[in-house]
Amino acid sequence: MEQIIRFGQSNRQFFSTLRSRVDEYFKTNNLSKNANAKMVIKTISMLCIYLIPYAFMLSGLVTLNAWMIIGLYVIMGIGMAGVGFSIMHDANHGSYSKSPRVNKILSFTMYMLGGSPLNWQIQHNVLHHTFTNISGKDEDIDAPIWLLRFSPHSPHYKIQKYQYLYAWAFYSLITIMWSITKDFKQLKRYEEMGLLKTKNTSYKQEIGKLILAKIGYYLFIIVAPLVFVDAAWWVIGIGYVTMHLVCGLIISVVFQLAHVVPEMSFPMPDDKGNIEDDWAVHQLKTTANFARNNRILSWFVGGLNYQIEHHLFPMICHVHYSEISKIVKSTAKEFNVMYMEIPTFRKAIMLHAKELKFLGQPNPIAA
């Protein structure tokens, strides 16, 4: 039987106070918690970065050599990550718009990335956001292969001693695995776990949708270029793989920097399923911000360098994270709650590598 996790009741005043202050910020400034004009401009920009190189290749307006085509696929990989960060992510959280219909339509951009919005919602919204850094519950730290170890509670193998060197190569494979096998395996697993019922759907319904979505994706991303682009099939193949490697690496690194760095906790429930901290405090102990003052990075990654604010307020559009982070940080200090922030992107990558090396040891001390 699946263990039920229960968070503690201590220090709940922190989140109730914080929530009131954040609500007051939006009320006082007469702001919506959803997307604004800047978000709409960003949405158009990310879609353009992804789709314009694709349209340019298929147009035949210019004769392209192999290197040019692969270069366009690299740009598509960057745009693909941007669409995931800035459109798909907010839409699947229901924070892009007040309209559930708009959110649902925009969540379908996940299909453009080769993935399933339903699987993302279960893995990310339900499991990761609820059970952050809890091994066996949070699939983001339950590595898909034994070569990687993201939690001190996961099994250890000698080869993991070197994961801080080779993990990056595996990170780049994440979206290509979405597009090929991961979605099918996940859907079956979630059906067995009874999680599809929480979405008022069934395996039979979703497997049909998933198969059609995959057919549509491959017609779009591989068949159309093979037909309309004047290039050898292997050039298109290399371009497709390169696009996914670029996107996969960017997405994986950004998400890993928020949870798998030193000072993050990896708490485990007791025999009765109890976690010591209440949910909000648990989020701050397992989540870090990074490069908050880097405006270009913040724009591109959809505010996911403000992961603390995102975990506490996933229903608020990311364009507001910069401002509400000031409220979160001051309130955390007032209640003596940990607020972890890493000053630069470079420093965050170095700390993640350090944590990977630490977790590669046989018996790291579990927090």
**Per-position DSSP letters for 179-242, written without gaps between them:** IIIIHHHHHHHHHHTT-GGGGT--HHHHHHHHHHHHHHHHIIIIIHHHHHS-S-HHHHHHHHHH
**Is residue 331 domain-resident?**
yes
State the average pLDDT for the chain. 94
Between CA 248 and CA 344 the distance in angstroms is 21
The pTM score is: 0.93
Cβ atoms of residues 303 and 288 within 8 Å: no
Which value, to the nearest 10 degrees, does the dihedral of the CA atoms of residues 241, 245, 115, 94 take? -150
* Domain carrying residue 163: 6-359
Measure CA 185 to chain center: 19
Give percent of the chain with pLDDT exceeding 90.
89
Between CA 36 and CA 48 the distance in angstroms is 19
**Is residue 1 domain-resident?**
no
Q: What pLDDT was estimated at residue 316? A: 97
In this predicted structure, the answer to whether residue 210 has a pLDDT above a threshold of 80 is yes
In this predicted structure, the answer to whether residue 112 has a pLDDT above a threshold of 60 is yes
**Is residue 195 domain-resident?**
yes
Between CA 327 and CA 310 the distance in angstroms is 13
Q: What pLDDT was estimated at residue 199? A: 87
Q: What pLDDT was estimated at residue 367? A: 44
- What is the pLDDT confidence band of residue 4, given thresholds at 50, 70 and 90? confident
Cβ atoms of residues 151 and 123 within 8 Å: no
**Is residue 346 domain-resident?**
yes
Q: What pLDDT was estimated at residue 9? A: 84
For 248-261, give one letter per residue: b (16+ CB within 10 A) or e: bbbbbbbbbbbbbb
Alpha-carbon distance values, 192 to 123, 195, 203, 273, 361 (Å): 14, 8, 9, 21, 33
**Is residue 364 domain-resident?**
no
Q: SS3 of 288, please?
A: strand
Q: What pLDDT was estimated at residue 364? A: 60
**What length is written for the chain?**
367
**Is residue 28 domain-resident?**
yes
What single-letter amino acid sits at 335? Answer: F
Q: What pLDDT was estimated at residue 232? A: 95
**Is residue 93 domain-resident?**
yes
Q: What pLDDT was estimated at residue 273? A: 87
Measure CA 209 to chain center: 22
Domain tally, the chain = 1
Smallest CA-to-CA distance from 184 within 154, 217, 211 is with 211
Helices (H), 29-182: 37-59, 66-83, 89-93, 100-107, 109-112, 117-120, 129-130, 163-171, 174-177
**Is residue 365 domain-resident?**
no
